[in-house]
Structure 1
Amino acid sequence: VDQMLEAMRDAKGQKPRLVHRLDRETSGCLLIAKTRFAASALTGSFRHRSARKIYWALVAGVPKPKQGRISTYLAKEESEEDSIMRVAAHGDEGAAHAVTYYAVVEASAQKLAWVSLKPVTGRTHQLRAHMAHIDHAIVGDPKYFNKENWELPGGIQKRLHLLARRIVIPHPRGGFIDVTAPLPPHMLQSWNLLGLEADRFDPIENAPEE
C-alpha cells in the first residue's frame, strides 16, 4: 500500500495518507485521504469512534447465542517467531480494552458460520483474537486458528476469511462517506460452495443507525 501511495502523488508532490490500516491478509474497505485536512478529520472520526465499521467473516462452528458482545482486554505476546494478541487481565502490562459485537448471519451444517462483526474499539487483530477467544476462530487464520482435528470442507481455500465489508464515516466537509466492498474471490468461492447468499439480511449491517 505504501508503494501505491508513493505513485499517487499529486501535482504538488503530496501523496495520499492512510487513515487506518487493515491486517495484511484482510480484504475490503480501506480509506485514504487526499489532503492533510481530510486525513486529520477522518483520523479524528476513528479516534472518537464516530466511524461505523462492519466486517464479515467465516468462522468454525456456530456461535451461541447467535448475537452477542465480546469484551476483553488484549495484550501483545511476543515470541521468537511471531507475535499475537492474547486475552489479558485488566492491569496487565500493555493490556487494552477491546469490544466487539457479532451476529450470525447464516450457518452451514453447524460446522461453519458467516458472522457479521462490529468492532467498537480498534485494537490490533481484535476481531481475530476475539473470535478465537469464544472458540469460533476465523477460517484460514494463520495466527489464531488452532483447532485440533478440524478439516476444512473440500474446495475452501486456507486463506483468511475476513472482509472489511463496510465503512460509514462523517465526510470532512459534511454528509457521510459510505463504502461497501464485495467478497474477495476466495471468500466468494466459499460462499458459493456452502450455499450462502451474500444478499441475505445482516442483523448488524442492516440495523438502524444508532
Structure 2
Amino acid sequence: MAEVSKNSVIHELITENEHGQRLDNLLLKKCKGVPKSHVYSVVRSGQVRVNGRRAAVSYRLQTGDVVRIPPMRTARVEQEVVDGAALKVQLPVVYEDDGLLIVDKPAGIAVHGGSGESFGVVEALRRQRPQARFLELAHRLDRETSGLLLLGKKRSVLLALHEMFRAGARGGSERGADKRYQVLVLGRWMDPLRNVRLPLHKYLLESGERRVRVAEEGKAAHTVFRLLARWERYSLLEAELKTGRTHQIRVHLAHLGYPIAGDEKYGDFALNRALAREGLKRMFLHAGKISLPHPQDGRELVVEAALPGALAQFLQKLSTKEKQDYGGTV
C-alpha cells in the first residue's frame, strides 16, 4: 500500500557523478519504492523541472543542472524503516542561521540516500526537523569522509552556494568556497607546499562501481598540499581543493605514491588491514575548515571542525609509537 510522501520538494544539484545520466534513471534511483509508471507520469505532468524548465524523461543531465523533484508516493513500510534508522543519527551542528546550516558529518554515513544507502544526512535532518520547510544539500562528501557539510535552508541561499561550488569546480578566479582537509598518508612527504595539477578521468569497473584515475583525457584538477607533520612512515597533510572533482584528493595522492591511510578504494590494502588492528578503522580524510562569503550578506564566514576523536587518538598513538621507534616527528 502506498501513501503520499510528506517530504518537501527536493532540488538536486547534478555533479560529475550524474553527468550524462538520463533523467528517468536518476529519479528511479532517488525515489526508492515509487512505481516507475508514477515517475513517468510526474515528469510528463511537468512537476519535475530541470533548471526551472520542463524536461523529457530521456534528457541527459549535465553537471550543474538543478532538478526539482516533487513529493511522490512511496511504500509505507520502506518509509518507516528509513525514518527509524535516520532518527538515530547524531549530526553535530557547527553553524546555523536562518538560511544556512553546517553540520559535522561523521564518517560512514552517506550525504543522501540512494546507491545502496537507505538514508543519508539530509534525510536524517529532515526527519529530525519536521518544521523545516526547506533543507537541501549544497555539496557532497564521500561516505568515508568526515567533516563540514553545508545545507541551504532557503532556496536563494542554496542557489548561491551552488554557484560558489561551481566556481570552485571551474578553478577560475571567481570568489568561491575555500575547502581544507586534513589527511594522513603513507610515506615521508618532503615538500612544505606542493601544487598538484593532474587531470582526472572517471570510469566504471566491470561490477559497475565508479572509479577515477589520472589520465590525459580527464578533466583538469588542481590540489594544493601543505605539510603539517611528518614521521618516519607517515605524513599529515592539509589539502586545499582548487577544483572539485570526484575523489580528487584520494586519486591525486594515490597516483603520487602517498595513499591515504584507510582508503579502501585507492589505498594500500595490506596497510589498511594492519591499521585497522592498530585502531584506525576508517579513512583518514576530514573536511576540517571552510571559508566563504556568506550567501546572504557577503560577510566572510570561516567555520572549523576538529578532528574526530578516533583520528586524533590515532595521531597521538602514532606519535608515541614513532617517538619510541624512530625518535619522533621530523
Fold conserved (TM > 0.5)?
Answer: yes
Question: 2:251 — aligned with what?
Answer: 129
Q: What one-letter code is carried by the residue in structure 1 that aligns with 2:305? A: A
Instruction: Note the alpha carbon deviations across 1:58-103, whole angstroms, 9 max, x for none.
Output: 10012232320111111112112332110011xx2xx211000001
Residue in structure 2 matched with residue 180 of structure 1 by the alignment: 304
Kept after mapping to 2: 8 A contact 1:159/1:186? no
| Distance in 2, Cα, partners of 1:144 & 1:176 | 35
The structure with more radius of gyration: 2
More strand, by proportion: 1
Q: Give the corresponding residue for 1:207.
A: none
Q: How many positions carry a matched residue from both structures?
A: 190
Q: Tell whether 2:284 aligns with 1:165.
A: no
- Separation (CA, whole Å) in 1 of partners of 2:280 and 2:270: 18
Q: Residue deviations 1:132-170, cap 9 Å, x none?
A: 011001100000013667854962413100000100011
Work out whether 1:68 is the aligned partner of 2:222. Answer: no
User: What residue is the counterpart of 1:87 in the other structure?
Assistant: 214
Q: Does residue 102 in structure 1 map to residue 222 in structure 2?
A: no
Give 1:40-79 correspondences, 5 Å limit: 40-49=159-168, 50-79=176-205
Percent of counterpart pairs with the same letter?
35
Answer 1 or 2: which has greater helix percent: 2
Separation of aligned partners in 2, 1:152 and 1:111:
13
Could you say which structure has the greater relative contact order, defined with CA pairs below 8 angstroms and 6 or more residues apart? 1
Runs of 4+ residues over 2 Å off in structure 1? 8-11, 80-83, 146-156
Within 2, Cα distance between the matches of 1:143 and 1:153? 15
User: Which residue does 1:201 correspond to in 2?
Assistant: none
Q: Is the 8 A contact 1:54 1:118 kept in 2?
A: yes
Following superposition, the deviation at residue 42 of structure 1 comes to: 1.4
Please report the RMSD computed on the Cα atoms of aligned residues, expressed in angstroms: 2.1
TM-score by length of 1: 0.83
Is the alpha carbon distance of 1:105 and 1:153 closer, same or farther for their aligned partners in structure 2, counting shifts above 3 Å?
farther
Q: Which SS does the other structure have where 1:46 is aligned?
A: helix
Q: What is the TM-score of this pair, normalised by structure 2? A: 0.54
CA contact (8 A) 1:58 1:161 kept: yes
CA distance in 1, matches of 2:314, 2:237: 14
CA distance in 2, matches of 1:131, 1:62: 12
- Unaligned regions of 5+ residues in structure 2, if any? 1-120, 169-175, 321-330
**3-state secondary structure, aligned to 1:31:** strand
Distance in 2 between the 1:9 and 1:56 partners?
30
Distance in 2 (CA, whole Å) between partners of 1:133 and 1:120 is 18
Match of 2:123 in 1: 3
